[in-house]
A and B are shown apart, each in its own frame.
Chain A
Amino acid sequence: MQPVFGFALFAVFVALIVVLARNKKRFPANPISSFFFGFIIVLLAIGAANYFMVAISANRLYFWQQTIYGVSLGSVYALIALGYTMVYGIVRLINFAHGEIYMIGAYAGFFGVTSLGFPFYFALIFAMLTAALAGVIVERIAYKPLRKAPRLAVLITAIGMSLLLQNVGQKIFGSIPRSFPRQFTGLYRIGEINLDQSRVIVFAVTFLLMVALQYFVTFTKPGKAMRAVSQDRDAAQMVGVNVDRTISLTFFVGSLLAGAAGILVAIVFPQIRPTMGLMPGLKAFVAAVIGGIGIIPGAVLGGLIIGVSENLVTAYISSSWRDAIAFGLLILILLVKPSGILGRNTREKV
């Protein structure tokens, strides 16, 4: 294809995105139409990127291959970010120990598959439940007594819990990395692009979990209670919501997802270690902030953005700049729109 042609199509796609984004208010604000709106934007963005590659005569195949890898990495970030975002939304706490919950999920999955001999999907559920249990226990032990304490004290406690779990993990599981048994080794090909079965499964499970979570939060009673507590804890309590139980439930659900992320990451990158939670944990929090903290689709969007941009930086520049790019994006977003891409600007009440 001619570069000029590519450029023209690129311009068309960008124009469509701009037009759509400017008319966003005309779309009804319910979750399903928001989802479709987002979906269309994503499709248009894919088109725009594709023709941009044509326009600059770059290797499109390479680009899309990298982007797909980025999406699968990003969906892991997204799963972890969901837990961060929910917990932050409800107790305004950056739960640093969340990365370790993800590590616990990975080890639970590992022992589920190896020692207990579970089939994969059973091990997935086992990992999720174990992680969720761990999350709730951490909340009970460390955060609940600090409900009324200064925010910074809780933050330090979270960091302490993170270090504690990491080192206890090293004592229990040993510091030597464990190799996760290979689960899905299939390989699909779309044209010239490789699509591993494992990555497809990661993406599919992430997607299902996200839809389930959105449903849970929007339509079920405990989910509504969760949203109520996150908006105004006192008011929620007054209308009969059991705040303590709702907070525990939030930790439960968030950790459930982190557990899933732990075992899912292990089927693509089959190596788990007690310190594996630190960096993905931080990155996932960055993802949550970029997408708009407290907003569920925002966490997913942020996760995907980080995953894809990290992979593209690695592919086109150098991975030595990768962390800088993730945090650079974060700072850019914070300075331009502190409430995140999907966040609403809120004013302090005076």
Chain B
Amino acid sequence: MNKHPNKIYASPILIFLGFAALIYINLQVSLDRVNFYVIGVLSVVAINIILTVSLNLINGITGQLSIGHAGFMAIGAYTTALFSIHLGTPIYFNLLVSGIAAGFVGFLIGLPTLRLRGDYLAIATLGFGEIIRVILQNLRFTGGAAGLGGIDWVDNFYLTQFMAIVVVIVVWRIGASAPGRAMVAIREDETAAETVGINTTKFKVMAFALGSFGAGIAGSLFAHRMTYIAPDGFTFMKSIEVLVMLVLGGLGSITGAIFSATLLTVLPEFLRFIDEWRMIIYPALLVTVMIFRSQGLFGTMELDFARVKSILKKVAPENLGPEKGKSNPPMQKIKALGFDSQEQKPILETKDLSISFGGLKAVKNLDMQITQGSLHGLIGPNGAGKTTVFNMLTGVHLPSSGEILFNGQRIDGNSPYSVAQAGIARTFQNIRLFKDLTVLDNVKVAFHLHADYGLGTAVARPPKFGAAERRITSEAKELLEIFKLGDHCMTIARNLPYGAQRRLEIVRALAVSPKLLLLDEPAAGMNVLETEKLMELIHWVRDEFDLTIFLIEHDMSLVMKLCQTISVLDYGMKIFEGTPEQVRKDPRVIEAYLGEEVS
């Protein structure tokens, strides 16, 4: 059943070893068996774990490359310093305030910055990290370059350790919840995540602010340990240090982050005898690890934690859902969310819709109506602008002019996620699944809108959380069963056969509970038999889920048999619209296809 079993079984052993080590360390510390030096190193380990795991939320889980973590740590450290020096507040208070301050700045910076992607985001975060440092260096009340001294000395290993454990648990729990799945979906494919209704900006900013919150806590502990802080302790190199710990452990892996934060803090202590070569060995080691194991020591391993738990508890996945049947509660719920009137009014309407890229007008003055409950086809030669129309309808591209009305409401200009939430779901021409997630998780991500709990619930986990999660899982499984993907629940999506991937994409779109389903070349790459089956499936889906379906297809036989109405696009203009019979006979259509046989 599992295509990567070793990953799953390694995790509990590591967790067990981790707990054993933790108990051993605490025993040693409480029995006064170790000296200040060792405890100090352990405290640094704990602070580094907080930094790394909180950065993991941003970089690993949400996939947003941030390399300015030291800046947020600095904000936490300075907040603590100012409170401690001027008001003498206790560390518990300072931890909280510092976390909030850093989280808030993270929110402010994240809001505009997270529009950027990839390397650009990385460079922007680097820039912000440096700017924070320069500002601290220039402000009078932060002591300028000389820094701030006289912070209360609190070097409480138990507290530091406790905070590290709390941060790990919080990040872990977020990772295995609906908001966490939304974040992972963003990492896997941002565009696809938007089209299943995930407000990517919201979740990115959320991850960024929470990660910064963690950095603030680390900064606070750091300040109380150091008693003196200066801006030059929070340079770009500090950010890099944390990033290296994260990547070495495996981006996205919390256990990996813990392991490598520990390793990279403790290892130099053992390398003191080669002190002067240390700074050569250290980066050489890093480069070597990256070359031979570029996914990091752990890869993204324990993101499968939920599964590990289910295996440990011996909960058979089959027990979760109701029996496979014709009408079952979740299905009715999906239907209920759809429309229920059967009037012959247009569900979707475009008026004078145009878009141009640079000088090229890709779609010109498109007027189109799609009747509710219909099966509408869109055909046209390659480059006619079909996918561009889909992209405008789903908010991926902003039309240059014209209107899009969905159920009478204007939706042009809306972002893809709000279009999806309004009830338009789609598939992609070149399948965009969350390739490295399991089949089940792909669907659960799309059930995101059904999760009626927030971040607080995800972290605190009251009974409500379990109920919601169980419901989501069973609904997702059921949907997969219907599409004969039930046996593949735990398969990584990229390992599915091609046809199954197409089906999965449709399942994922249906999980959004759409009223209108857009299918972009669903039959592409399928053989005759598969196409035949697909046709039945599409028909069945439309009836079973009370949907309107609008599809682009190159396979003429499929379109002709399936659709009630067909629009023909050529050079961005609608040249014809009518029933399959009419389309077949229309000379303009035939000409557009340049003699291509329209059978």
In angstroms, Cα B129 to Cα A328, docked, is 11
A-contact bits for B294-322, CB 8 A (1 contact / 0 none): 11100000000000000000000000000
A152–B251 CB distance below 8 A: yes
CB distance from A254 to the nearest CB of B (A): 17
| Interface-facing stretch out of A4-12, A14-22, A142-150 | A142-150
Q: Nearest CB to that of B416 among chain A residues?
A: A350
In angstroms, Cα B116 to Cα A330, docked, is 13
B294–A149 CB distance below 8 A: yes
B116–A334 CB distance below 8 A: yes
In angstroms, Cα B419 to Cα A157, docked, is 40
A324–B130 CB distance below 8 A: yes
Q: Is A327 on the interface with B (CB-CB < 8 A)?
A: yes
In angstroms, Cα B124 to Cα A97, docked, is 19
CB distance from B364 to the nearest CB of A (A): 18
> Known interface pairs A142-B287, A321-B138, A324-B131. Does A156 touch B244 (Cβ–Cβ under 8 Å)?
yes
Q: Is A347 on the interface with B (CB-CB < 8 A)?
A: yes
Q: Is B15 on the interface with A (CB-CB < 8 A)?
A: no
CB distance from B336 to the nearest CB of A (A): 31
Chain B residues near A285: list those with CB within 8 A.
123
Q: Is B236 on the interface with A (CB-CB < 8 A)?
A: yes
Q: Which of A157, A170, A328, A334 contacts B287 (CB 8 A)?
A: A157
Q: Is A189 on the interface with B (CB-CB < 8 A)?
A: no
Chain B residues near A299: list those with CB within 8 A.
none
A window 315-350: CB within 8 A of B? 318, 320-321, 323-324, 327-328, 330-331, 334-335, 338, 347-348, 350
CB distance from B230 to the nearest CB of A (A): 14
CB distance from A77 to the nearest CB of B (A): 15
B138–A350 CB distance below 8 A: no
Q: Which of B112, B287, B357, B428 contacts A350 (CB 8 A)?
A: B428
A-contact bits for B96-133, CB 8 A (1 contact / 0 none): 00000000000000001101101110111011101100
Q: Is A134 on the interface with B (CB-CB < 8 A)?
A: no
A window 7-60: CB within 8 A of B? none
In angstroms, Cα B124 to Cα A338, docked, is 10
Q: Is B283 on the interface with A (CB-CB < 8 A)?
A: yes
B280–A171 CB distance below 8 A: yes
Q: Give the most central of B116, B128, B134, B248: most A CB within 10 Å.
A: B134
Q: Nearest CB to that of A328 among chain B residues?
A: B131
B291–A157 CB distance below 8 A: yes
A153–B130 CB distance below 8 A: no
Chain B residues near A327: list those with CB within 8 A.
126-128, 130-131, 134
In angstroms, Cα B503 to Cα A143, docked, is 38
Q: Which of B59, B116, B135, B287 contacts A160 (CB 8 A)?
A: B287
Q: Is B387 on the interface with A (CB-CB < 8 A)?
A: yes
CB distance from B596 to the nearest CB of A (A): 25
B122–A335 CB distance below 8 A: no
A160–B286 CB distance below 8 A: yes
Q: Is A286 on the interface with B (CB-CB < 8 A)?
A: yes
| Interface-facing stretch out of A161-169, A199-207, A210-218, A235-243 | A161-169
CB distance from A61 to the nearest CB of B (A): 29
> Known interface pairs A151-B118, A324-B135. Does A156 touch B123 (Cβ–Cβ under 8 Å)?
no
**Which residues of B are interface residues toward A (Cβ below 8 A)?**
59, 65, 112-113, 115-116, 118-120, 122-124, 126-128, 130-131, 134-135, 137-138, 145, 191, 236, 240, 243-244, 247-248, 251, 276, 279-280, 282-284, 286-287, 290-291, 294-296, 357, 387, 391, 396-397, 428
Can you identify 7 A-B contacts, CB atoms within 8 angstroms?
Answer: A94-B123, A160-B244, A160-B290, A289-B123, A324-B135, A328-B131, A338-B116
With A289-B123, A330-B124, A334-B116 given, can you name 5 additional A-B contacts, CB distance below 8 Å?
A145-B291, A154-B290, A289-B120, A330-B123, A350-B391
**Which residues of A are interface residues toward B (Cβ below 8 A)?**
88, 92, 94, 142, 145-146, 149-157, 159-164, 167-168, 170-171, 282, 285-286, 289, 318, 320-321, 323-324, 327-328, 330-331, 334-335, 338, 347-348, 350
